[in-house]
């Protein structure tokens, strides 16, 4: 019997500190293990030689040329970097990618797909790199998606654990003093993190006096949020989420749809709410009391959320 070789990686949500993380401020992110990207190693169809990547959901089927000098496709670059790092020749297989994570929605789809692909390719060549190496490779690919990424997405996804992230600092995790019931509400509007990150960078460059204090204030919220999360102070965490959202609005990375879902969630009884990830579209998160979750889910759906996922962090 043939064994299936498959690897996967989770989605992520940023609880606090997106955008500010790019400028060295702390940020907090958690994996969402119930939403995943999968990579399956399959034999090549008859007559096909070399390494191929098949991503039917993205409409992509590509051969991987590891000798190509410039590779601007994120999937092909992932494969090339992995094989280079392992000094391994391309295996004669097709890696099929499937993902439950909506793209361009702030949930780390790009990082999760790269991570699943990298893991599957390692298995295909019989190797298992350490997490730090994998994290570094996926970070290199993130630059295609995000331009100047902080590294938070690849870190939380590769390590699949809650992270208190500070750019270029060793990995720090955190623990929760009480379970968190979170709703992830999707505006259904795809948005480019690269553009949002670039626009914030322009604000920093053209109006540092107004922009840097906002970034600093977001960093302070992340620090307070970590303490509140660790002591299980749900009320304080919710309040800080709402304050974080207001600061992200001032960085111009929210949108009318995100604001509408954030306000709706709070009016329906959420303890706090904010956009999550790059913003301008994609997803927002709402912190709710478990007994109130269904009411907030209904309110978000009525307010236009195309999908609401409940996740409980313990
Ligand atoms: C994207 O998930 C998070 C951002 O802070 C960008 C980054 O940190 O690389 C917007």
Question: pTM of the predicted model, to two decimals?
Answer: 0.95
Where are the alpha helices (H) located in 87-163, listed in sequence order?
A: 109-124, 131-146, 152-159
154 lines ligand 1 (CB under 6 A): no
* pLDDT exceeds cutoff 90 at 165: yes
pLDDT digits (tens, 9 = 90+) for 67-119: 887 888 999 999 999 999 999 999 999 999 999 999 989 999 999 999 999 99
Q: How confident is the model at residue 38 (pLDDT cuts 50, 70, 90)?
A: very high
> Residue 117: what are its φ and ψ, rounded to 5°?
-60, -45
Residue 167: count other Cβ atoms within 10 Å of its Cβ.
16
- Which strands sit side by side in the sheet containing 180-186, from one edge to the other? 272-275, 283-288, 180-186, 307-313
* pLDDT exceeds cutoff 60 at 127: yes
281 C-alpha to ligand 1 centroid (Å)? 14
Q: Judging by DSSP bridges, how do beta strands 60-63 and 27-43 pair with one another? A: unpaired
Q: What are the Cα distances from residue 101, in Å, to 58, 159, 162, 275?
A: 12, 18, 18, 17
Instruction: HSE, CB side, 13 Å, CA atoms: give it for residue 192.
Output: 11
67 C-alpha to ligand 1 centroid (Å)? 31
146 lines ligand 1 (CB under 6 A): yes
Looking at ligand 1, which atom is closest to the CA of residue 196? 10
């Amino acid at each position: 019997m043939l064994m299936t070789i498959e690897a996967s990686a989770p989605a992520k949500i940023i609880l606090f500190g997106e955008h500010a993380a790019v400028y060295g401020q702390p940020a907090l992110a958690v994996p969402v293990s119930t939403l995943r990207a999968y990579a399956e190693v399959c034999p090549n169809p008859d007559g096909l030689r070399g390494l191929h990547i098949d991503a039917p959901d993205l409409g992509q089927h590509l051969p991987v040329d590891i000798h190509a000098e410039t590779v601007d496709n994120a999937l092909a670059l992932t494969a090339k970097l992995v094989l280079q790092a392992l000094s391994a020749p391309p295996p004669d297989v097709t890696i099929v990618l499937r993902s439950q994570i909506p793209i361009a929605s702030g949930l780390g789809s790009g990082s999760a797909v790269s991570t699943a692909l990298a893991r599957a390719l390692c298995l295909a060549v019989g190797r298992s790199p350490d997490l730090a190496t994998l994290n570094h490779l996926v970070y290199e690919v993130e630059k295609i998606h995000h331009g100047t990424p902080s590294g938070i997405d690849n870190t939380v996804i590769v390590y699949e654990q809650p992270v208190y992230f500070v750019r270029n600092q060793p990995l720090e995790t955190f623990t929760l003093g009480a379970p968190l019931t979170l709703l992830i509400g999707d505006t259904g509007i795809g948005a480019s993190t690269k553009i949002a990150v670039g626009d914030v960078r322009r604000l920093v460059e053209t109006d540092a006096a107004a922009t840097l204090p906002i970034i600093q204030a977001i960093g302070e919220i992340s620090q307070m949020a970590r303490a509140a999360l660790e002591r299980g102070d749900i009320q304080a965490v919710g309040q800080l989420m709402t304050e974080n959202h207001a600061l992200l609005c001032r960085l111009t990375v929210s949108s009318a749809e995100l604001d509408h879902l954030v306000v709706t969630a709070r009016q329906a009884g959420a303890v706090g709410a904010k956009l999550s990830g790059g913003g301008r579209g994609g997803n927002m998160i709402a912190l709710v009391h478990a007994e109130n979750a269904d009411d907030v889910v209904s309110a978000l759906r009525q307010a236009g959320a195309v999908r609401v996922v409940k996740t409980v962090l313990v």
